[in-house]
Amino acid sequence: MPSPDGPPSIATDVGDDGLRRYGVEADGAAFEASPIAERYAEILEAAIVSGPLPGLLAYMAPAVIAILFYLGIRFRAPLPGSDRGHRQRLRGLRGGGSDPGAVAIETPKRRILLVINLLFWAGAEIQLRNLAIGLRKLGHDVTLVAVEDITSHAADLEKAGVKLQSLGARDRVGKLRALPALVRAARKAEIVHCTGWDASLWGRLAAIMARRPVVVTEHAGDRSLQVSKRGAPRSRMIAFHNRALDRATNATVVVSSAQPRQLEAEGVRPDSIVLIPNGVPVEELRDRAGNGCDRSALGIPPEATVIMHVARFAPPKCQAATLRLVARLRERFGDVRAVFVGDGETEDPVRRQAAGMGADWAVFLGSRDDVPALLRSADLAVLPSKAEGLPMSLIEAIAVGTPVVATDVGDVRWLLDVNGGGLCVAKEDEDAFAAACARVLADPGLHQRLREEGLARVGDFDAARMVERYSCLLEAAINSRPASSLRDELALES
């Protein structure tokens, strides 16, 4: 079992009133004039901070809508096709068969709407891709709507039978105009699930208007890193909308045990927070990895040592630190190459830094669809991040047998303690990070032990188990069943 400092289970206690928003009386205090007036005051203050008048109006409008429709929840009709007396059937949750700890769940087939802002190549988006495909494999009817656009994963999703829709709304006003289309999509579903921001705003508003239960998954580990496209901080506005919409939210899923404190500070009810760690499709990744990729096709000699950093280019991912790391390792180990997989806002500055260092040993591959094979070809995967939840790239590296070194952020230490497969060091300590990487590279026995440990235990983070847990939670939300009743069945076995 995880240590007392780590997450003890997949589902935390959600309390008796945590998932009763629908068809059951609401807390009368929520409808008193004073709290409503206070909310309006917060809307105005936060919107003024956000910038120009168009931004103020675009932020105020959904907030006002949220309050009005929040009041309407009190009078919502029963969900069509829902049996409020239904008790979810769970069997074989604690082992059984040849797969100890596997989750076997019998649930009705449901119409599920998944909402995300932009579906592209990044950790939370890959997780949603895995969730959508997994829910389809369980027999659910799944529709995925991107508020902005879909730029990756479309082929995999369509092949699995997931229905896709892009609203093309790329600014605040456009998203407000697209809200009716999102409401229509919600009305066709039995439950709405939102991933990240802005989806957790617009998707929740649509669910409220359509009178559908809603579950949110939050991946962010540090609000200070969430800014608008113009660089303005969004933490206050996100916090306000969480506070305004929380009581209309059946459950908020976190992927890291470090996240609940942040959400509770924003007004999210502690008893509505559920922990479901990210999962990866282990067997699929291993099949795609094969024996690795052809290094020569990347311009890398077969005998070189490859340090791979798989992440979108963004400030918390610290690709510049990896450049400095590899420069140090080259002094001791000779021909060491830094390979970066991903793209994003900080890619150009890191490229310029590499050019300034004369780092012809740095390879920038951009977004790729052969990440498992690339990881399998690396000697070491690194992630010197300043903030994370539960990074999927680390789980993917471990799943294909590549040892990792990462910083102690989010649930990284817990992952490596529970699963093995790598070393964890304090964040922003580049000396310690370099020492840990050198230790793994210099000791073939340690390298092999980390590889074998990770391969043997990564099944706890298989996407199939993650999907079954989500399916169980979504079914509970549809039936207004407290998630606390699922706690024992959904506990992580490691």
- Among the listed residues 213, 135, 166, the one whose alpha carbon sits nearest the alpha carbon of residue 467: 135
Tally the C-alpha atoms within 13 A of residue 336's C-alpha that lie toward its C-beta: 24
SS3 353: helix
Residue 448, H or E segment: helix 444-457
The CA-based dihedral angle spanning residues 120, 125, 128, 134, taken in that order and rounded to the nearest 10 degrees: 70
The reported pLDDT for the residue numbered 434 is 98
Cα–Cα distance, 304 to 379 (Å, whole number) = 9
Structure token pair of residue 491: 């506990």
**Inter-residue contact 192 to 212 (CB < 8 Å):** yes
Q: CA gyration radius for the chain?
A: 23
Query: Which class is 28-279+463-486 in CATH?
Result: alpha beta
Apex 87 CA angle, 84 and 93, nearest 5? 150
Residues 197-210 pLDDT 10s: 889 999 999 999 99
* Per-residue tens of pLDDT for the chain, all 494 residues: 334 344 333 333 333 333 333 232 333 333 333 444 454 455 445 555 555 555 555 555 665 665 555 555 444 434 433 434 334 334 433 333 334 334 445 568 999 999 999 998 888 899 999 999 999 999 999 999 999 999 989 999 999 999 999 999 988 889 989 999 999 999 999 999 999 888 999 999 999 999 999 999 998 877 766 766 677 777 888 888 888 898 889 999 988 888 888 899 999 988 888 889 889 999 999 999 999 999 999 999 999 999 999 999 999 999 999 999 999 999 999 999 999 999 999 999 999 999 999 999 999 999 998 999 999 999 999 999 998 888 989 999 999 999 999 999 988 999 999 899 999 999 999 999 999 999 999 999 999 999 999 999 998 899 999 999 999 999 999 998 766 666 666 655 54
Amino acid letter for position 390? L
Cα–Cα distance, 141 to 274 (Å, whole number) = 24
- Among the listed residues 403, 354, 358, the one whose alpha carbon sits nearest the alpha carbon of residue 376: 403
DSSP per-residue codes, 168-208: ---SHHHHHHHHHHHHHHHHTSSEEEEESTTHHHHHHHHHH
DSSP tag of 315: G
**Inter-residue contact 372 to 293 (CB < 8 Å):** no
Cα–Cα distance, 9 to 487 (Å, whole number) = 7
Superfamily of domain 282-461: Glycogen Phosphorylase B; (3.40.50.2000)
| 362-364 sheet: strands from edge to edge | 362-364, 336-341, 305-310, 380-383, 404-407, 422-425
Residue ranges of the chain assigned to CATH 3.40.50.2000: 28-279+463-486, 282-461
Residues 347-372 pLDDT 10s: 999 999 999 999 999 999 999 989 99
For the beta carbon of residue 126, count every other beta carbon within 10 angstroms. Answer: 22
